[in-house]
Every structure is written in C-alpha cells, then in structure tokens.
Chain A
Amino acid sequence: MTDFLVFEGVSKSYGDIRAVDSVSFSINKGEIFSLLGPSGCGKTTLLRCCAGFEDPDAGRIILDGRDITGLPPHERKVNTVFQNYALFPHLTIRDNIAFGPRMARWTKGEIDKEVARMLELIQMEDYADRKVTEISGGQKQRVAIARALINRPQVLLLDEPLAALDLKLRQRMLVELDAIHDEVGITFVYVTHDQSEAMGISDRIAAMNRGHIEQIGKPAEIYEAPRSSFVAAFIGDTNFFDGSVTDVMDGPYCRLKIEGFPDVLAWNDKGVQTGNAVHLSLRPEKFNISREQPDVLPNRNVVQGVVEDIIYLGSHTKYWVRVEDYRLGVHQQHSRYLLDTRPITWGEKVYLSWFADDSCMLERYKAEDENLLVLPDTEETEPVEA
C-alpha cells in the first residue's frame, strides 16, 4: 500500500532556525524508509513530529488515512526506538517490554505470552529478569526494539538506533534489524547520519539537508544518480566537474569543455543544449587506472595524470591523481592476487579511463557541497565529522 504515512508541507522552527521547511513525502506500508542527512538537517525533528513529541508549525501528518498531527504521543499507533534506548532503569528487562501493554491494560495472560514471544524474537529469554544496568549496549538495543514492537505499532520509528554501538556490533545489529523487519513486517522509519547504514537497510532513502529533502529514491538510485551536489558528496565519495556543453552528439552523449581539464564525453540524460553550463559527478570507482594506454572506444574517456597520494585498504586502493588543475579520487578494486604484480606508486604517470555512461549530471549544484568531500589533505588538518 502506498501513501501509508504521509507528510504534507510539514514545517517546524526553533526560534529563528527553520529545522524543517515545508517537507512533503509519503512512505509505503511495510517498507524501511530512511531519513539520511548530517546533524541539524531536520531528520530527527521530522521523526519527533511523527512520534508526537513536537507539534509542527504547519502541515499535516497522515497515518493510514487518519490525520494524527495534533494527537498526543500516547494516542498514536506509532512507537519509537530512542537513540540512547531510554530503557527504564528501575525495571527489569521483562517489565520494560511489558510497559506498553500494561499501559494499554492488556490481560495478564496476554502480556505474559507476548513478552515471552518478544524475548524469543530478540533472543534474550535468559535475561528477562535482569536489570537494565546489567546488560550490554547491543542487548539494550534489542530490548528497546522489543519494547516498541510489542505494542504492534503501525509504524516503528528508529532514531539513530545504532549510533551508540561500535562498528562490528553495528553491522551485526543492522542484519538483525533487517531480520526483525522481515519477521514483523511493520513499516520502519529509520533516522541516521550514517550513509552505509541507510544504504544497507533501506528500501528507500530520503536524503535531507538544511530542513529540505534533496532526493528520495532507492539506495542505488541515490548513489548512482544523485540529483544534487549535496547528495553526491554526502553519500559516498565523488569527483565534481564544472563545464559547458560544446557539442550534443546524435546518441545520448554530449561533449563538455572543462576549464583546466581535457574535454570529456558525458552521458546526456538531462537533455542539455550546446552552450549550457553543466555540473558532473563521477564516482571514484568508475575510473580504471593503468600504466598502459587503454584501447580507444567511442564512449570511453582517457586522460593522463600523475599519482599524488595512495591509501591501500586491502580490498581496494584509493589513489589521488593530478590531471591538469583537477585532483581526482580514484578507487580501484583488487579482484586479482596483488603480490604478483608491480603496484602503481607515487609520482607515476598513469592513464585514467571511464565510460561516458558512468558520469551523472547534477540538477542542482552548490560549490560549498564540495566541502563534504573527504580528501586526504583535509583529513590531515582537521578530522572530518563522522
């Protein structure tokens, strides 16, 4: 079912700051929908409006055909998994999970049965009578999910649920969360600033920036076809090019003149005309880096450059290659056994090639979004916010 949870022109300001600015979108029943963006982008405010902790200044929130905008939190069929879990410290695991049903005055038998089922779902039967202070972070996380799910909400809201866990545990919990979603089939709204979490778990992602939604789409759409420079830079790494169209070809290609860079061939999916200014995003893994000149193909761009920086990461290597005025990030996967080959080193002249089909024209471009790109020289001077 589409349009299960609908936000219509929702706005919310705190003093002079417009946290959410007339945002509209809808979420389908049963999907995992992520609100992804940097801190302060308004994603948590949207979630809190949905839970009932904040009243939007304008707009409506409609759940399953019913306007829930003005309802107090306890009258919404919506439950939240909080970032710090917010488990009740004076209660046991069992009583924490049973809290919602007790508020709803279920019968004792029903509560016992459902709590047992939830404990089984999160595999914590043996911990039922422990206190909240006696379990680990990952276990608290699972209890928080069970405590919310037992109420059979129409929508489960997850506010940065994995932020407090370490990396390995985060990846495991992500898989578990996905498994729980498959089992209960409830609509999840997932708020995160971590693009890999959002990509990994979501059916659809809304990329947010400064109180606006920049793009909504499947993870692959967001990654491969970002509409704005913000989305391109925030989700994954990318290279930006500034150019103008010199020639529109017969096929779906156009030729671009780029200041301080060789002319390139680009995929023209936006129907640009000769003379138009164009912004291009090209993901680092789309390049092929080699010592030998690659074969010439009609839709292949080939440029020459010098390797400036190398970071070896096992499965792949990150290179930074100087091509005229541009410093390009290049990711090369190592699909072959590496020790038998002579690796590319610093200062070496290399060929970079990529297919024109693999670049993406941006509808909206802001130079400041380039600051989101993580380059080694910025990494050294100031650590970039995770």
Chain B
Amino acid sequence: MKRAAQKKLHETLISGPSFIWLLIFFIIPTMIVFAIAFKPATPFGGIGDGWTLHTLMDLRNPNYPAIIGRTIWLSVVSTAICLLLAVPCGYCIARAPKRSREVLLLLVIIPFWTNFLIRIFAWKVLLHPEGMLKQALVFLHLCSPDATLLYNPVTVLLVIIYTYLPFAILPVYAAAEKFDYSLIEAARDLGASQLRAFTRIFLPGISRGVWTAVLMVFIPALGSYVIPDIVGGPGSEMIGNKIAQRTFVDRNLPHASALAALLTLAVMVPLMITLVHHYRQAPVAHKKGKGAAQ
C-alpha cells in the first residue's frame, strides 16, 4: 500500500500547480464576481458598503428577456449548425489518406494564425455594402443591391459559426480518428443501411467528441461580446454586450456582476447535471476519471 500512497503523492504534486493556477485565476475571481452581485452600487462607479439584494431585483429589467432569448437562440442555433458541419468534416478528415489528412487539418487550424479581431473586421469588410462578398452576391443576382448584410442577428450567427467551427471540427475529428470503422462494417453486415449504421453506431461511438464540440461552441457563443458588437446592430445585442455596457458605460459593477453570475450559472448548472448523470451511467469511465483526478 506504500506504493499507492506514493502514487497519490505524485499525482497531487503533478496536478498541484495547475490546481493553484485555476484557484487563483479562475475560482477566486468567479467567487468575487458572485460576491459583488450582492453589493450596492455607488453613483461614481464604485462598490458600496454592506450587502443588498437590490441589484438582483434590478435584473427584472423589461429589456432583458428579449436579450436573453436572443442570446440563447443564437447560441443554440450556432452550436447546431457547427455540429452539422463538424461531424461530416471530422469524418472526412479522419477517413482521408494520411497525407491529405495533414493538409486538411492545417486548413482547419490556419484561421487561428490571424488575430481574432482582425478576422471579425474582415467579415465587416466582406459584408459591407461596397464589400466584395456583397458585390459578388449582387452580381450573381443572389441578393438585391439595397439589402443590408451587416448589423442583424443572422450576421452575428454567421460570424459566430465561422469563429467557432474549428473548435467543433477538432474534437469531432479526434474522436472520429480513434473510431473503429470495422464497427460500421459489422453494423452493415447485421442489416443496417448506411444511414442507420451512421446514426446507431458511428454517432454514439464519437459521442465524447460531439459533446466536447457542443461545449466548445455553446459556451463561448453564449458569452459572445465582440462579434455582436462589431457585426451586429442595436437589434442584435447579446448578454455579453449588456455586461460590457453596464461595466464601461453605466459604471455599475454590481449589476454587471449579477448578469455575469447569471450567465455563469446558466452554463455551469446544466453542465454539472450532465456530468453527474454521465458518470452515474458509465461506472467504468467514472473509475478511470477518478483515478486520474486524484
């Protein structure tokens, strides 16, 4: 048993630094944000003394339901479309011959070499009434000359999908690459059509990759701030924009904190429930996971 104790010490030592990092730069700041939500605001942009529920009451702003609704539908739809594109992409890359696989992966990763903000501004240039894409579409009679492609929620959706698609393709590819394709043959052999072999065997087989892709797209999409700010108009505001507005324009930090806390909880709670449910269903995976976490 001495060896087991030693192994545990090793694991603690190895995971220690990253745990401390997370504690200082993630857990404690999040707790501070949660705490500030219960503080009163001062007229000069500071944080007042004492504790209050007043800020939380202020969240019943009549403008919020529409913004929250828009945030959710934009995130859900962008996640869904990213998945619809990522699964076939991931599959094709995983099944491609080794050399073209490397090229295809490179193509997925290349956008990361350009700064995020510059890429968003590039979209602004493309979609601008005088922009190349707009002109091309008009030339092809695919859109009327006076249609506006910028500053509406669909533009925001388009750019969110563009931005987060690689984050969906990579985990799906990683799972599809490890998938045992003789299982597809087995399913076909047992009477499954191509479509059913895909839905009944392939999709469950890469479910880990798919769930990772969902998280990698949905969570950042929910917190989008720069994208709606640059390519969205006043009618495309998301919660992220409201938090920024409360912080920088209204200088009401408690209110911004309350909104941020709401967003965090909205992500964390369902995630925790899913994780607990998942581990209950898969005791083997749970054991493995526990061993690694200790």
**A131 to B, closest residue via Cβ:** B284
Residues from chain B with a CB closer than 8 A to the CB of A100 are 190-191
* Inter-chain contact A82/B193, CB cutoff 8 Å: no
Known A74-B193, A131-B284: A86·B188 in contact at CB below 8 Å: no
Known A82-B182, A133-B284: A89·B205 in contact at CB below 8 Å: yes
Check if B220 is an interface residue, CB within 8 A of chain A: no
Per-position binary interface string of chain A over residues 64-98, scored 1 when its CB falls under 8 Å from any chain B CB and 0 otherwise: 00000000111000111010101111100000000
Known A89-B205, A90-B204: A104·B189 in contact at CB below 8 Å: no
Check if A53 is an interface residue, CB within 8 A of chain B: yes
Bound Cα distance from A72 to B191, whole angstroms: 10
Q: How large is the interface on B (under 10, 10 to 19, 20 to 34, 35 or more residues)?
A: 10 to 19
Contact among A73, A84, A89 with B189 in the assembled complex (CB-CB below 8 Å): A73
Residues from chain B with a CB closer than 8 A to the CB of A133 are 284
Known A90-B205, A103-B196, A133-B284: A84·B182 in contact at CB below 8 Å: yes
* Inter-chain contact A103/B191, CB cutoff 8 Å: yes
Check if A288 is an interface residue, CB within 8 A of chain B: no
Residues from chain B with a CB closer than 8 A to the CB of A87 are 186
Check if B180 is an interface residue, CB within 8 A of chain A: yes
Known A133-B284, A134-B284: A72·B188 in contact at CB below 8 Å: yes
* Inter-chain contact B284/A53, CB cutoff 8 Å: no
Residues from chain B with a CB closer than 8 A to the CB of A151 are 190-191
* Inter-chain contact B182/A73, CB cutoff 8 Å: no
Per-position binary interface string of chain A over residues 31-61, scored 1 when its CB falls under 8 Å from any chain B CB and 0 otherwise: 0000000000000000000011100000000
Known A73-B185, A84-B182, A133-B284: A104·B201 in contact at CB below 8 Å: no
**B182 to A, closest residue via Cβ:** A86
**A80 to B, closest residue via Cβ:** B189
Check if B215 is an interface residue, CB within 8 A of chain A: no
Residues from chain B with a CB closer than 8 A to the CB of A99 are 187, 190, 192, 200
Q: How many residues of A contact B (CB 8 A)?
A: 26
Among residues 113 to 158 in chain A, which have CB atoms less than 8 Å away from a CB atom of chain B?
131, 133-134, 147-148, 151
Residues from chain B with a CB closer than 8 A to the CB of A134 are 284
Among residues 186 to 238 in chain B, which have CB atoms less than 8 Å away from a CB atom of chain A?
186-193, 196, 200-201, 204-205, 207
Bound Cα distance from A82 to B180, whole angstroms: 12
Residues from chain A with a CB closer than 8 A to the CB of B183 are 86, 88-89
* Inter-chain contact A86/B186, CB cutoff 8 Å: yes
Most A CB within 10 A of own CB, among B188, B190, B201, B205: B190
Per-position binary interface string of chain B over residues 163-189, scored 1 when its CB falls under 8 Å from any chain A CB and 0 otherwise: 000000000000000001011011111
Bound Cα distance from A243 to B196, whole angstroms: 62
Residues from chain B with a CB closer than 8 A to the CB of A51 are 185, 189
**Minimum CB–CB distance for B268 against chain A, Å:** 27
Residues from chain A with a CB closer than 8 A to the CB of B188 are 52-53, 72-74
Most B CB within 10 A of own CB, among A52, A53, A86, A147: A86
**Minimum CB–CB distance for A267 against chain B, Å:** 47
Bound Cα distance from A79 to B189, whole angstroms: 6
Bound Cα distance from A151 to B187, whole angstroms: 12
Bound Cα distance from A371 to B204, whole angstroms: 48
Bound Cα distance from A293 to B183, whole angstroms: 63
* Inter-chain contact A74/B191, CB cutoff 8 Å: yes
**B190 to A, closest residue via Cβ:** A100
Among residues 73 to 100 in chain B, which have CB atoms less than 8 Å away from a CB atom of chain A?
none
Known A88-B201, A103-B196, A131-B284: A147·B190 in contact at CB below 8 Å: yes
**Minimum CB–CB distance for A80 against chain B, Å:** 5
Residues from chain A with a CB closer than 8 A to the CB of B204 are 88, 90
Residues from chain B with a CB closer than 8 A to the CB of A86 are 180, 182-183, 185-186
Known A100-B191, A103-B191: A88·B186 in contact at CB below 8 Å: yes
Residues from chain B with a CB closer than 8 A to the CB of A89 are 183, 205
**Minimum CB–CB distance for B211 against chain A, Å:** 13
Bound Cα distance from A170 to B1, whole angstroms: 37
* Inter-chain contact B205/A103, CB cutoff 8 Å: no
Task: State the A residues within 8 Å of B (CB).
Answer: 51-53, 72-74, 78-80, 82, 84, 86-90, 99-100, 103-104, 131, 133-134, 147-148, 151
Provide 19 A-B residue pairs closer than 8 Å at the C-beta atoms, listed in order of the A residue.
Answer: A73-B188, A74-B188, A78-B189, A80-B186, A86-B180, A86-B182, A86-B185, A86-B186, A87-B186, A88-B186, A88-B201, A89-B183, A89-B205, A90-B204, A103-B187, A103-B192, A104-B191, A147-B190, A148-B189
- Given contacts A52-B189, A73-B188, A79-B189, list 15 more A-B pairs with CB under 8 A: A72-B188, A73-B189, A74-B191, A74-B192, A80-B189, A82-B186, A86-B185, A88-B201, A89-B183, A100-B191, A103-B192, A131-B284, A134-B284, A147-B190, A148-B189
